[in-house]
Amino acid sequence: MEKWADNKAWFLVLPVFVVVAFSAIIPLMTVVNYSVQDIFGPGNAVFVGTEWFEQMLTDHRLHDALWRQFLFSGLVLLIEIPLGILIALAMPKKGWGVSASLVTLAIPLLIPWNVIGTIWIIFTRPDIGLFGVGINSLDLLEVPFDHTARPSYAWVTLMAMEVWHWTPLVALLCYAGLRAIPEAYYQAAKIDGASAWAVFRYIQLPKMRGVLTIAVLLRWMDSFLIYAEPFALTGGGPGNSTTFLSIYLVKLATGQFDLGPAAAFSLIYFLIVLLFSFIFYQALLNVGKGEKAS
């Protein structure tokens, strides 16, 4: 669609600009301000330049949190994307089953994020949880299951929760992509005697490219920003084993009141996210073009 060229359209965008700028730019400038000062109290601050940035870039706990975050987001993608594709492929294509599946899939996505944590505490606790009691009654584990007992247990619980929570999103997107494939493609494949694998590899997967790009990027971004669920489930523990970037940042800023380092860290965090946002943006634009052209 050819667009009209008119700079007066800015008047329509101005309200959005003002309200988002109020919520985004002023706080961001405050963060920048903090990040170059050492603040002792109101009206008592010293300019320290890039000291906090240097401190943060060499902070081992930050590096640990960052690697933990990459590991977590990577695992999330490795599990959720294939699983989501499988679910989308298995979903019914017509009849009452379609609506029923869509609504069931959507339920975890509508639950407040810390309630997700609550659900999984109640579900996995070794004294009252179905999963906790169930797995301990099998007597397979050396140390009885308790997500606060061992880092590996905490990770398993967190991953189970994350996969439970967000795989439906991947499945929903893939399902939308699959539904956009014309029936004629499948008929042609049938005439050619194509195997189910060939249909998937040469028809379904290429047609899902757009939605899969969105799914991968959304899951990457959101898991990178994760806060409420691990906060409610493990609080970052045991030890620091599930302290992800956001949790570390909030601990730093509100727990220890290290404003300068926290602000410097925020900016680094924000820049990482900005980089991914840019990749995401380019992908989204191309997705739009690709779908319209075909």
Partner 1 sequence: MRVRKRYIALFFYFLVLVVPIYWMLNMSLRSNADILGTFSLYPSHLTFKNYIKVFTDPTWYSGYINAIIYVTLNTLMSLAFALPAAYAFSRYKFLGDGQMFFWLLTNRMAPPAVFLLPYFQLYSTVNLIDTHIAVALAHCLFNVPLAVWILEGFMSGIPKEIDETAFIDGYSFPRFFFTLFIPLIRAGVGVTAFFCFMFSWVELLFARTLTVTEAKPIVATMTRTISATGLDWGLLAANGILTIVPGALVIWFVRNHLAKGFALGRV
Q: Per CB under 8 A, does 138 bind partner 1?
A: no
The pattern of x and - marking residues 26 through 45 that bind partner 1 according to CB under 8 A reads xxx-xx--x-----------
Which CB atom, from 12 or from 184, has the smaller least distance to partner 1? Answer: 12
**Which of 68, 129, 234, 264: binder of partner 1 (CB under 8 A)?**
129
Which CB atom, from 136 or from 241, has the smaller least distance to partner 1? Answer: 136
| Radius of gyration of the CA atoms of the chain, in A | 24
**Which of 218, 237, 238, 240: binder of partner 1 (CB under 8 A)?**
218
**Which of 133, 156, 159, 181: binder of partner 1 (CB under 8 A)?**
133
**Which of 7, 44, 58, 195: binder of partner 1 (CB under 8 A)?**
7
Q: Per CB under 8 A, does 23 bind partner 1?
A: yes
Which positions from 140 through 199 interact with partner 1, judged by CB under 8 A?
164, 168-169, 172-173, 175-177
Which positions from 189 through 208 interact with partner 1, judged by CB under 8 A?
none
Q: What Å distances lie between residue 169 and 31, 230, 282, CA to CA?
A: 33, 19, 21
The pattern of x and - marking residues 236 through 255 that bind partner 1 according to CB under 8 A reads ---------xx--xx--xx-
Neighbours of 222 (CB within 10 A): 15
Task: Label residues 34-66 b or e (16+ Cβ within 10 Å = b).
Answer: bbbbebeeeeebeebeebbbebbeebeebeebb
Picking from 225, 267, 261, 257, the residue whose alpha carbon sits closest to that of residue 244 is: 225
Q: Environment class of residue 234 by beta-carbon count within 10 Å: exposed (0-12), middle (13-18) or buried (19+)?
A: buried
Neighbours of 86 (CB within 10 A): 14
Helix axes 259-293, 209-224, angle to 10 degrees: 170
Measured CA to CA, the distance from residue 204 to residue 197 in angstroms comes to: 10
Half-sphere exposure of 165 (CA within 13 A, CB side): 25
For the CB of residue 212, give the shortest distance to partner 1 in the complex, in Å.
Answer: 11
Which CB atom, from 185 or from 227, has the smaller least distance to partner 1? Answer: 227
Which positions from 55 through 114 interact with partner 1, judged by CB under 8 A?
87, 90-92, 99, 101-114
For the CB of residue 151, give the shortest distance to partner 1 in the complex, in Å.
Answer: 21
